[in-house]
Amino acid sequence: MKKNNLSEDNRSLVMSEIMTPDMVNFYGNVHGGHILKLLDRVAYACAARYSGKHIVTLSVDQVIFKKAIHVGELVSFYARVNYVGNSSLEIGIRVIAENLITREQRHTNTCYFTMVALDEHGKPTKIQPLTPLTETDTRRYNDALRRKEARLKIKMKPD
């Protein structure tokens, strides 16, 4: 396994993008599907940066769009590695929309992606474990473990 410098910088990532008219839905707000696409990119980048591996999306927990996002707003995605299993990572992402004229910021949604690291043959591969550094990291780690257990219960239910 390749050694990584697992500094604080490798655990988190911020990406921002201006919302443009080509992103709107029929109601005139930014299309939720476009936000989901950006969320997936951010989760990929955060997981790949941490692990140094090829990454695929395994699952996305419930996504609730609390507030609309509008054309012209700067949307920032704050991603963080919350948990690492053998080959999987949970990436938590908080989405903030900012009106650049008024400087008003709104938390529009939070979601959790489960990503899987792959080797050169496309098979799940082991990655370095995550050691929580702060009390907040420990809380996020424990919350992620509970979400993982809940996902496994859903997965194991018979059809």
pLDDT at 152: 84
Range with lowest mean pLDDT among 21-25, 68-72, 154-158: 154-158
Alpha carbons 34 and 25: distance in angstroms, whole number: 9
pLDDT at 158: 56
Q: Is the pLDDT confidence value at 157 over 70?
A: no
The predicted-structure confidence for 48-105, as pLDDT tens digits, reads as follows: 999 999 999 999 998 999 999 999 999 999 999 999 999 999 999 999 999 999 999 9
Kindly list the strands in the beta sheet with 12-18, ordered across the sheet, starting from the edge strand earlier in the chain: 12-18, 74-84, 88-98, 105-118, 54-60
pLDDT at 140: 96
Alpha carbons 118 and 54: distance in angstroms, whole number: 5
Per the prediction, the chain carries an average pLDDT of 92
pLDDT at 1: 37
Token digits of residue 65 = 């769009």
User: Residue 3 — pLDDT band, cuts 50, 70, 90?
Assistant: very low
The predicted-structure confidence for 92-122, as pLDDT tens digits, reads as follows: 999 999 999 999 999 999 999 999 999 999 9
Query: What percentage of the chain reaches a pLDDT higher than 90?
Result: 87
CB contact at 8 A, 15 and 42: yes
pTM: 0.89
CB contact at 8 A, 40 and 57: yes
CB contact at 8 A, 71 and 83: no
Most distant CA pair in the chain: distance in Å? 52
Range with lowest mean pLDDT among 2-11, 39-48, 93-102, 147-156: 2-11
Domains and their CATH numbers in the chain:
11-156 (3.10.129.10)
The mean per-residue pLDDT over the stretch 23-38 comes to 96
pLDDT at 159: 55
Task: Find, among 93, 91, 33, 35, the residue nearest to 58 by Cα.
Answer: 91
